[in-house]
Structure 1
Amino acid sequence: WMIMGMEEPTEGTVKLGNHNVIPSYFEQNQAEALDLTKNVMDTIHDEVPEWKNEEVRTLLGNFLFSGETVFKKVAALSGGEKARLALAKMLLKPGNFMLLDEPTNHLDIPAKEMLEEALKNYDGTVVIVSHDRYFISQVANKIVEIRDGDFHVYLGDYHYYLDKIEEEKEAERVAKIMAEKAAKKAEKAAKKKQKDKEKAAAKRK
């Protein structure tokens, strides 16, 4: 929400950049904002009134709406269909930065595959907040993990991220073992030093 300017940060500032960033936002309950009184065709046509019916049908076909389904009332659509329609509507808007909040919620497998393809062909920047690991593995080329209040950036896809996480865990494990060994060695040396001092003191007596 702060990225989109819908909420103010408690401290600091949030900037999208200085070079004509045109954002669009898909939130988890985006489908609930659709006009239930319209049908599928009109929902899209009202966004691009200059389009011909064939153009609207082609777009809707890409989002798995075909035949008579384009005339279904939005109120009669399933949760997955509403999510697909909301995505189609959002992708109509000109923009070069998309923020998607759990976009695969309610989507079936064909719809997810359609969204994956659309994002792969998108020329702008996409930020995805998602728990759908398979979906992330298909579309992401940079992973940002928020851990212990810090941002950890991994410049690769999801599999690269998993590999790096394992490397970090292994490095932490090795570092812990080395630290424990060093501590034991230091403790042993301290005890030896103390014994040597005690022996030296006993000899002087």
Structure 2
Amino acid sequence: MGISKTYEGNYSEYVAAKAAWIEAQRMAWEKQQKEINHTKDMINRLSAGASSGRASSAEKKLEKLQDENSVEKPFEHKPIKFRFPALERSGNTVVMIKNLAFEYDGNVLFKKANLMIERGEKLAVIGPNGCGKSTLLRLIMGYEEPTHGQVQLGEHNVIPNYFEQNQAEVLDLDKTVLETVEMAAENWRIDDIKGLLGRCNFKADMLNRKVAFLSGGEKARLAFCKFMVTPSTLLVLDEPTNHLDIPSKELLEEAIREYRGTVIAVSHDRYFLRQIVNRVVEVKDGMLWDYVGDYNYYLENNLEARKRELEREEELEAKAPKVKAKSKMSKAEKELRKKQKATSFQQSQAKTRVSKNAKRWN
């Protein structure tokens, strides 16, 4: 809304602090609105006859409340709930990997890897760059063939919805923004599609713009919207948060938490993984190491990973800006500060007198 506000602390602390600030601001605004309404009522009652002088004082008080001491109503985003389109649930076995071996350009990514994924599990695939995480997703989707072994989807109603890292690059450039999402959606009302696009920062004047004229970030958000409306019983996500803004990430996190199907996600976004997963699979030395628990459970049971996480936190803390000591104020700055304090004191005294008189009159 054209105003910047600074919060100290990390992102989680910011979320809590902002929520507390909004609540305090809203209560202050509501309190002032009550005072304004009460003052207006008092003016109406006193405006006639001998009490007109008191009414005049009350009008001055009202002017101050509405102008000088006005409390702004805090801006809050209208909450929009989103759910992935529901389908009849899949069978219990969703993905089965047996003795998987895969080589690429002479590099062995997997050797005798095994994994079973069942309905309702929300699984994170983690590991260093180049270990084969994205390749594993492509094997699950059938876009790559294993060198040995097998990778199979379950037989009953396993309908995957795949979000690739380069999802934005495969959009039809001749379609408009609205047409792109509309074609992927089944049984969606046009108003609901527009609502989702609006939530992802597509204004009304952009809906009929062709994809070819969108920026890279806009294409990424459009690909995200298309993904969100596609019916499925299995979500396969390869770095889905890379090009999303914070509101879009939060929308995705909430939708995944409510999703009743199965989720397989590759992501370096630890905050995102902590919100959504209940199982972690680490790709290491060509094998799939299974941790049947959330991301914190994985850290608790993997000393090496916990050490890396602590080192990462220390590195981030070292990079964080340090609070500098206050510099000495110049003489002019001291004089200005003194005047500001005096003005503030006078205003508070005047407000107190008005408040006392108002109580006395009532």
The residue correspondences of 1:7-86 to structure 2 (distance < 5 A) are 7-48=144-185, 51-86=188-223
Give distance in 1, aligned partners of 2:305 and 2:273.
21
Q: Does 1:154 align with 2:303?
A: no
Partner of 2:264: 127
Question: What CA deviation, in whole Å up to 9, does each residue of 1:134-165 have, x standing for no partner?
Answer: 21111111110011222111111111111111
1:138: which partner in 2?
A: 275
Name the Cα RMSD after superposition: 2.3
**Aligned residue in 2 for 1:94:** 231
Listed as ranges, the matches of 1:173-184 within 5 Å are none
Q: Structure 2: 5+ residue runs without aligned partners?
A: 1-137, 308-362
Structure-1 residue corresponding to 2:244? 107
Give the structure 2 partner of residue 182 of structure 1. Answer: none
- Counterpart code for 1:122: Y
Q: Does 40-49 or 28-37 show the bigger shift?
A: 40-49
1:173-196 per-position Cα deviation (integer Å, ceiling 9, x unaligned): xxxxxxxxxxxxxxxxxxxxxxxx
User: Which residues of structure 1 form unaligned runs of 5+?
Assistant: 171-205
Distance 1:55 1:162, change over 3 A: same
Does the residue aligned with 1:46 lie in a helix, a strand or coil?
A: helix
Provide the C-alpha distance between the structure 1 equivalents of 2:264 and 2:187, rounded to a whole number of angstroms.
30
Deviations 1:107-152 (A, max 9, x none): 1222211111121121110100111212111111111001122211
Q: Is the 8 A contact 1:23 1:95 kept in 2?
A: yes
Quote the Cα distance in structure 2 between the aligned partners of 1:68 and 1:106. Answer: 22
Q: How does 1:177-196 map to 2 (within 5 A)?
A: none
Distance of 1:113 and 1:168 partners within structure 2: 26
Once the 2 structures are TM-superposed, how far is the Cα of residue 78 of structure 1 from its aligned partner?
3.1
Deviation at 1:169, TM superposition (A): 8.1
Separation (CA, whole Å) in 2 of partners of 1:20 and 1:163: 35
Q: CA deviation at 1:37?
A: 2.4
> What is the TM-score when the length of structure 1 is the normalising length?
0.73
Amino acid at match of 1:111: S
- Partners of 1:103 and 1:134 lie apart in 2 by 13
Q: How many angstroms apart in 2 are the aligned matches of 1:49 and 1:100?
A: 21
Whether contact under 8 Å (2:186, 2:231) holds in the other structure is: no
Moved more, 53-62 or 35-44: 53-62
2:300–2:306: 8 Å Cα contact kept in structure 1? Answer: no
**Structure 2 length as normaliser, TM-score?**
0.43
Determine if contact 2:162/2:236 at 8 Å carries over to the other structure: yes
Identity %: 54
Following superposition, the deviation at residue 168 of structure 1 comes to: 9.0
Q: Do the aligned residues in 2 keep the contact of 1:57 with 1:66 (CA within 8 Å)?
A: no
Q: How far did residue 50 of structure 1 move?
A: 5.8
